[in-house]
Amino acid sequence: MSGELKNLTFFVRTFGCQMNESDSERIAGILCRAGAKKAARPEDSDLIIVNTCAVRKKAEEKLFSYLGRLAQIKKKKLVQVGVVGCVAQLRGLELLEKKFGVDFVLGPDNYGELPDILRTSPADKHISTAWSAEWHDTPLDLALHESTVSAYVPVMEGCNNFCSYCIVPFTRGREKYRPLSSIVEEVEDLGRKGFKEIQLLGQNVNSYRDPRSGGSFPDLLRATCRVEPIEWIRFLTSHPKNFTLEIAETMAAEKKICRQLHLPLQSGATSVLERMRRSYTQEDYLEKIAFLRRLMPDISLSTDIIVGFPGESEKDFEESLAVLREVRFTNIFSFRYSPRPLTRASEFKDDVPGEEKSRRLAEVQALQKQIQLENHGRKVGSVIKVLCLGPAKKTPHLYSGRDEGYEVVNFQSADDCSGSFVNVRVTGFGPYSLYGERIPVS
Ligand code: 5AD
Ligand code: SF4
């Protein structure tokens, strides 16, 4: 297939999570392998792929407004539009209606068909959304990574948890796991190419099992830690139910695993967690946090919070605020609940008024902003190790990177240190990032 799309230029627009970003890198890799070239803007391409997210209603709406923008481009030039990812899986046939201007639709399990589709006539509108029960392995060197320093490595896909609000089990299907040997080979390849950090990805990453040996997630962590040039290893997303004490102990024992964890709480109220079908209570969650902090006192924790879930009373909401005050997360992602098709919770009465959801969201965010300012204030004067990812996007005279806790650090440096670990003295901060100056490594 190599070379057959050599006259084609393409552009990929990605909505949603890290898994989608990783999929887009693989889609770009598939197209480049077939000879196509990546364009910087949709206006300059013959093919536009929109990788979509269905997790919240707002994310889905973004797709439709983007398709409206693409319709303007389509009026001026011949361009093919493909919609892929979670909305494609869910609303594929509807997306092929003429008014949306979409030429083909591929679900998250069907990207491999891209070159074949592009070989057929655009007039034959194509849709593929069948799931397979097994992991589709891809060639080692496939992904066209956005960064040359930090790489996403997908290790599992899908979710068997069926939290009552969540559409993911319906868009990504049931869990399937990538063979451990294939993951390690890819990590070794990334190490040879000079990558310093990897992020192991999966919707429910801690339930990983090697389909061949039955090896567990801690086995996977240990195997990737043995890959020499890789220095920092992260993973997401963890479900508190599947995040075991053994995983915590592995993190503590392995120096390369960053002391950082994203552990979605969703709600601080046990009664809401029960209706969300999360299988843990507020106490269980706090116990896990306490255990983690006993093992790794400096661990950096982040979380997801949903406000306004059906039946969430003011008192329940206060419980979420109380957990935020107690844990003092490094960062949170907070959302207004929106009912999603096919989910259990979509049958519940969406009884928290929109205005009240917005008020609660604003309150969560204001509290968290205050916590982050206080956390950051305490870091001024300290020296932190930062992996420099390159020049800062908005302030190109600065460099930008992340510390082990996954905090954004923008800093001054006399020379280009992209791709290196550097020491930065913290001199200032905002709620969402730290500022500093690079100091010599002693
Ligand atoms: N409404 C609001 N937020 C949601 N999330 C998932 N489903 C919904 C929904 N229906 C949030 C959860 C999840 C994150 C990726 O998106 O917090 O962890
Ligand atoms: Fe959705 Fe729950 Fe699975 Fe996460 S664990 S993807 S919230 S169903």
DSSP annotation of 266 reads B
Which ligand is nearest the CA of 239, by number?
2
Cβ neighbors of 98 (< 8 A, separation 6 or more) are none
Q: Is the CB of 264 under 6 A from ligand 1?
A: yes
CA of 264 to the centre of ligand 1 (A): 10
Q: Is the CB of 113 under 6 A from ligand 1?
A: no
Q: Is the CB of 273 under 6 A from ligand 2?
A: no
Cα(65)–Cα(71) distance, rounded to whole angstroms? 10
Compute how many other C-beta atoms are within 10 angstroms of the C-beta atom of residue 3. 9
CA of 335 to the centre of ligand 1 (A): 7
pLDDT of residue 116: 86
Cβ neighbors of 2 (< 8 A, separation 6 or more) are 33, 34, 35
Ligand 1 pocket test, candidate residues 164, 261, 335, 358, most atoms within 8 A of CB: 335
| Closest ligand 2 atom number to CA of residue 167 | 1
pLDDT per residue of the chain (442 residues) written in tens, 0 to 9 = 455 787 899 999 999 999 999 999 999 999 999 999 999 999 999 999 999 999 999 989 999 999 999 999 998 988 999 999 999 999 999 999 988 899 999 999 898 888 888 887 666 788 999 888 889 888 777 889 989 999 999 999 999 999 999 999 999 999 999 999 999 999 999 999 999 999 999 999 999 999 999 999 999 999 999 998 999 999 999 999 999 999 999 999 999 999 999 999 999 999 999 999 999 999 999 999 999 999 999 999 999 999 999 999 999 999 999 999 999 999 999 999 999 999 999 999 999 999 999 999 999 999 999 999 999 999 999 999 999 999 998 887 899 999 999 999 999 999 999 999 999 999 999 999 999 999 987 6
Cβ neighbors of 269 (< 8 A, separation 6 or more) are 282, 312, 315, 316, 317, 319, 320
CA of 263 to the centre of ligand 1 (A): 13
CA of 199 to the centre of ligand 1 (A): 21
| Closest ligand 2 atom number to CA of residue 266 | 7
| Closest ligand 2 atom number to CA of residue 203 | 6
Cα(300)–Cα(309) distance, rounded to whole angstroms? 27
Q: Is the CB of 337 under 6 A from ligand 1?
A: yes
Q: Is 271 helix (H, G, I), strand (E, B) or coil?
A: helix
Cα(264)–Cα(269) distance, rounded to whole angstroms? 13
Q: Is the CB of 159 under 6 A from ligand 2?
A: yes
CA of 359 to the centre of ligand 1 (A): 18
pLDDT of residue 1: 46
Ligand 1 pocket test, candidate residues 90, 236, 239, 304, most atoms within 8 A of CB: 304
Query: 282-295 vs 314-327: helix axis angle to the nearest 10?
Result: 0
Q: Is 376 helix (H, G, I), strand (E, B) or coil?
A: helix
Please state the separation of Cα 121 from the chain's center in Å. Answer: 34
Q: Is the CB of 56 under 6 A from ligand 1?
A: yes
pLDDT of residue 7: 84
Q: Which of 383, 381, 436 is nearest to 408 (CA)?
A: 436
| Side chain identity at residue 275, one-letter code | R
Cα(60)–Cα(52) distance, rounded to whole angstroms? 7
Q: Are 50 and 66 in contact (CB under 8 A)?
A: yes
The residue whose C-alpha atom lies closest to atom 5 belonging to ligand 2 is: 161
Phi, psi of 395 (to 5 degrees): -130, 80
Q: Is the CB of 168 under 6 A from ligand 2?
A: yes
The residue whose C-alpha atom lies closest to atom 14 belonging to ligand 1 is: 304
